[in-house]
Amino acid sequence: MPIQYYLFLSLALFCIGIMGALMRRNAIIIFMSIELMLNAVNLLMVAFSKMYNDSAAQIFVFFIMVVAAAEVAVGLAIIVMMYRKVHSVDVNILNRLKH
Amino acid sequence: MDILQILFWVLTIMAIGCALGVVLSRNPVNSVIFLILTFFAISGHYLLLNAQFLAIVNIIVYAGAIMVLFLFVIMLMNMNADTEPQKSWLVQLAGVVSGGTLFLVIIAAISKANLLGVIQPETTNIGLIKVLGQVLYKEYVLPFEISSVLFLSAMIGAIVIGKKDME
């Protein structure tokens, strides 16, 4: 497989994630789009590690997964807290940070 | 066209179609299911690249743990297509245009970059657990230990944020 195919695939996934983060108002869907972007980067990193025959990139992908897991735990706790306060996950309600 | 190429194209179409399903479907539960399918397609790509450790970790951590957490929160909030907030079509069009413009710009930049790499997955064994474990515990043992501190702080943070009364 030429490396361009993997580049185009992960670029397409990344841009779909950006479109999702810009198009939707549900905070959880925006969060899922961010996960999609992280996975696109992971896929490209594994492809390049295969191309250059270097295993450090796969270790970095492993650490990206670690950070993503921690991020999801804290982020979903924040979203649940926000739902408890305002009974909605609409990000447009969050434009005032006062209450 | 051999079997690897057929598998590559099937997994690519599955990944992109399911990613579009995540963004476009009205019901958040359907979005989660599509995202799990996308992660399975990406794990299939890792297997094609002979990165077996990351394929298994991707399925266990992403499709197993993280997406179950998402599904749990969505079902806790009892969300469905009726309660889904919608942006106006102008904002949605702006999102699609800006994402597509970024796609076109980076494709134009890549096509001039003259990358001449061909990936042959069978020739190397750097994705195997044995090799990756030796690299992880020899060269990257300090970041590995620090990530446990990160996990501990994330856990404590999630508990503190999610407590019933903040006073």
Residuewise pLDDT in 10s, chain B (167 residues) = 788 889 999 999 999 999 999 998 888 889 999 999 999 999 999 998 888 889 999 999 888 888 888 888 888 888 776 777 777 888 889 989 999 999 999 988 888 877 777 777 666 777 788 888 888 899 999 999 999 999 999 999 989 888 876 55
One domain for residues B11 and B39: yes
Domain shared by B123 and B166, yes or no:
no
Complex confidence, ipTM: 0.91
Same-domain status, B16 and B40: yes
- Identify whether residues B143 and B89 lie together within a single domain: no
The CATH class of A3-95 is: mainly alpha
CB-closest option in B12, B54, B91 to A9: B12
Task: Tell me how close the Cα of B23 comes to any Cα of chain A, in angstroms.
Answer: 5
Q: Which residues pair with A26 in a beta bridge?
A: A90
Contact call for A50 and B126, based on CB within 8 A: yes
Question: In the structure encoding, which two tokens stand for residue A45, read together?
Answer: 């990193």
pLDDT of amino acid B121: 62
Range of the domain at B30: 3-127
Task: Calculate the alpha carbon distances from B59 to A44, A80, B35, B44, B127 in Å.
Answer: 17, 25, 12, 10, 16
In the numeric block, which tokens belong to residue A2? 């030429």
Same domain, B123 and B70: yes
Same domain, residue pair B64 and B98? yes
Cβ-based burial of A19 (10 A; exposed 0-12, middle 13-18, buried ≥19): buried
Whether residue B123 is found in the same domain as residue B135: no
- Partner-chain residue, chosen from B42, B124, B154, that has the shortest CB–CB distance to A53: B124
Name all contacts of B136-144 with Cβ < 8 Å and 24+ positions apart: B136/A59, B136/A62, B139/A56, B140/A56, B140/A59, B143/A63
Distance, in Å, from the CA atom of B131 to the CA atom of B120, rounded to the nearest integer, reads 18
Say which of B16, B92, B95 has its CB closest to residue A13.
Answer: B16
Q: Where are the domains of chain A?
A: 3-95
Q: B22 and B66: one domain?
A: yes
Q: Alpha-carbon torsion B18, A4, A35, A98, what sign?
A: negative
**Min Cα–Cα distance to chain B from A38, Å:** 11
